[in-house]
Structure 1
Amino acid sequence: MTTPLLEVQDLTIAFPTPGGGSAEVVSELGFALPPGGSLGIVGESGSGKSMTSLAVMGLLPKGARLAGRIRLAGEDIAGLPDRRMRAIRGDRIAMVFQDPLSSLNPYYAVGFQIEEAYRAHRPRATRREARRVAVEAMERVHIPDAARRAGHYPHQFSGGMRQRVMIAIALSTEPDLLIADEPTTALDVTVQAQILALLREIRRDTGTGLVLITHDLAVVSEMVDDVVVMRAGRCVEHAPVARLFSDPQHAYTRALLDAVPRLDDEVGELRTVRAAAPDTPREGER
């Protein structure tokens, strides 16, 4: 039996409360991701999605209490010493955050930031080698004229291009697992599609495992093999993506699917209206 790339068992995350008690934000969560697989974690704001990803990365806020197991290729990484976790984070596991502008340092060129991320895990690499890796990473994420643009600063890039830079940083060390936390937030629809297509391309070409954190079921339907639906810190449903959409078992999952806008009925209604009123002037003709 193949060892999962990522296995989470009975993960519970709690924070102390002023009265001396504790509040659980994730409760007894479990899932497994095979090597090269893809998993979507879906839920509304506050459901525990991002806390789960931070726990896997070893980046939980100060004061958080963690119980359960998090295994990476069979190694339990929950509660590892900071030094050991820093060696894993950014090398074997990389993360793309939802706001690239706040993740990138405005005082340094993007190429330099990719170089520094690479050299943090490849200390014997020369500056020339790190620059080559940085340019190649930018080319991999389809940033035009990468060698020149490596010298540009974050404010000189659009939102979509900044997110591509963040993905380039994540890919520079060729990680086994990529966690993308709402990677298309605040991007327009066209750019969202480009970023998602890029993530699919990366999975296909590199075999990197993907955990996609999102609230958007339409994104999940096109991007992942399996889905975990979270509500109030708990997994309410875990299923292959095709089965989740065709036969949801939990009432909350059905409510999420019912909330997704559908165009098929609206298109049919629009055609009926146009057929009944063929002389209605179209947009731009009034």
Structure 2
Amino acid sequence: MNAATTNQGPLLTVDDLTVSFTTAKGRADVVKNLSFSVPRGGALGIVGESGSGKSMTSLAVMGLLPKGGSATGRISFDGRELTSLPEREMRGVRGDRIAMIFQDPLSSLNPYYKVGTQIVEAYLSHRSGVSRREARRVAIEALERVHIRDAAQRIDHYPHQFSGGMRQRIMIAMALSMEPDLIIADEPTTALDVTVQAQILDLLSEIRKDTGASLILITHDLAVVSEVTDDIVVMREGAVVEQGTTEQVFSDPQADYTRRLLDAVPRIDDEIGTLRTTAIPTVTGGTR
């Protein structure tokens, strides 16, 4: 793990977070009065359909809101207030102590550079005084940790020489190279088939167990979080509709919207040849 923690409370606390954008029609709130916490070593799932505000929540935590966006409320990481942190200091937190895995590794990786070069450069940007040789060794070890075979050779390959699942593993390796305390995975399995999706989820669980890092898993699919997270926040139109432990939400959902999401999850005990569909009213506007 990274630097020593400063207290024994939750690693991340988000309190009354509102994310707003200025539009031609005035202010638009895309996240509204959101509160949650992530324990040290814990895993939280943030679930909701497109437009629910789940991705904007993660960008607010990372200090990466798009131009025109602003956040109010409190975001505390290891006892340190992030919303008022100068950008120079925030860069020391982002990527180092909080790492983010985006949903499309093909667009996140630069096609013109070898994957090893990209991991090494990310590592060196946070580790002054470290040699490139040492950074390369760390990159190879990170690739090995995410089960990429022949990592010492494949580190010199380009992104297009890997499958989609392998590229996602490379993004996870880049995050792991910094030994972060918190990993935010934003729809990390969306573009993958079900078999590779299961492998990536197993890998995230393995990493969490081995490193003690906390995890925020953002997804539109409740089935994805069922085996990985301890707690769930269900969002719709920028607001929380339900939150609780994963076991509670799955066994006894309180909100009608949550029940509809659960009804949309394919079940192994469904009759062969049948298809269950539950209509969820379309939400217009908003953001992911």
TM-score of the superposed pair, with normalisation by structure 2: 0.91
TM-superposed deviation, 1:17 = 1.6
The aligned residue for residue 3 of structure 1 is 9
Q: 1:145 aligned to 2:142? A: no
Moved more, 122-131 or 257-266: 257-266
Q: Which amino acid aligns with 1:206?
A: T
Task: Supply the distance in 2 between the matched residues of 1:139 and 1:232 (Cα, whole angstroms).
Answer: 40
Moved more, 73-82 or 148-157: 73-82
Task: Supply the distance in 2 between the matched residues of 1:240 and 1:2 (Cα, whole angstroms).
Answer: 21
Q: 1:264 aligned to 2:269? A: yes
Q: 1:41 aligned to 2:28? A: no
Aligned residue for 2:226, secondary structure, equals: helix
Q: 1:50 aligned to 2:47? A: no
Residues 90-129 of structure 1 aligned to structure 2 (within 5 Å): 90-129=95-134
> Which digits, 9 at most, give the CA deviation of each residue in 1:216-274, with x for residues without a partner?
111111110000000000011110000101111111111111121223131599xxxxx
Task: Supply the distance in 1 between the matched residues of 2:273 and 2:136 (Cα, whole angstroms).
Answer: 54
Match of 1:184 among 164, 170, 189: 189
The aligned residue for residue 32 of structure 2 is 27
> Which digits, 9 at most, give the CA deviation of each residue in 1:36-70, with x for residues without a partner?
00000000001000000000011000111210000
Q: 1:14 aligned to 2:20? A: yes
Call closer, same or farther: CA 1:268–1:46 in 2, change over 3 Å: closer
Q: 1:88 aligned to 2:93? A: yes
Provide runs of 4+ in structure 1 moved above 4 Å.
none
Call closer, same or farther: CA 1:268–1:165 in 2, change over 3 Å: closer
Q: Which amino acid aligns with 2:21?
A: F
Task: Supply the distance in 2 between the matched residues of 1:153 and 1:192 (Cα, whole angstroms).
Answer: 22
Task: Supply the distance in 2 between the matched residues of 1:192 and 1:257 (Cα, whole angstroms).
Answer: 19
Task: Supply the distance in 2 between the matched residues of 1:263 and 1:107 (Cα, whole angstroms).
Answer: 43
TM-superposed deviation, 1:83 = 0.8
Residues 172-251 of structure 1 aligned to structure 2 (within 5 Å): 172-251=177-256
Q: Highest Rg: 1 or 2? A: 1
* Unaligned 5+ runs, structure 1: 270-286
> Which digits, 9 at most, give the CA deviation of each residue in 1:119-171, with x for residues without a partner?
11101110110000000000000000000000000011110000000000000
Task: Supply the distance in 2 between the matched residues of 1:265 and 1:201 (Cα, whole angstroms).
Answer: 30
Task: Supply the distance in 1 between the matched residues of 2:68 and 2:272 (Cα, whole angstroms).
Answer: 52
Task: Supply the distance in 1 between the matched residues of 2:88 and 2:205 (Cα, whole angstroms).
Answer: 32
Bigger fraction of residues in helix: 1
Q: Which structure is higher in RCO with an 8 Å CA cutoff and minimum separation 6?
A: 2
Q: Which amino acid aligns with 1:234?
A: A
Q: 1:169 aligned to 2:174? A: yes
The aligned residue for residue 3 of structure 2 is none
CA RMSD, Structure 1 to Structure 2 (Å): 1.3
Task: Supply the distance in 2 between the matched residues of 1:38 and 1:263 (Cα, whole angstroms).
Answer: 25
Q: Which amino acid aligns with 1:77?
A: L
> Which digits, 9 at most, give the CA deviation of each residue in 1:67-89, with x for residues without a partner?
00000011110132211111100
The aligned residue for residue 275 of structure 1 is none
TM-score of the superposed pair, with normalisation by structure 1: 0.92
TM-superposed deviation, 1:186 = 1.0
Aligned residue for 1:190, secondary structure, equals: helix
Q: Which amino acid aligns with 2:241?
A: V
The aligned residue for residue 63 of structure 1 is 68
Task: Supply the distance in 2 between the matched residues of 1:195 and 1:101 (Cα, whole angstroms).
Answer: 16
Q: Which amino acid aligns with 2:135?
A: A
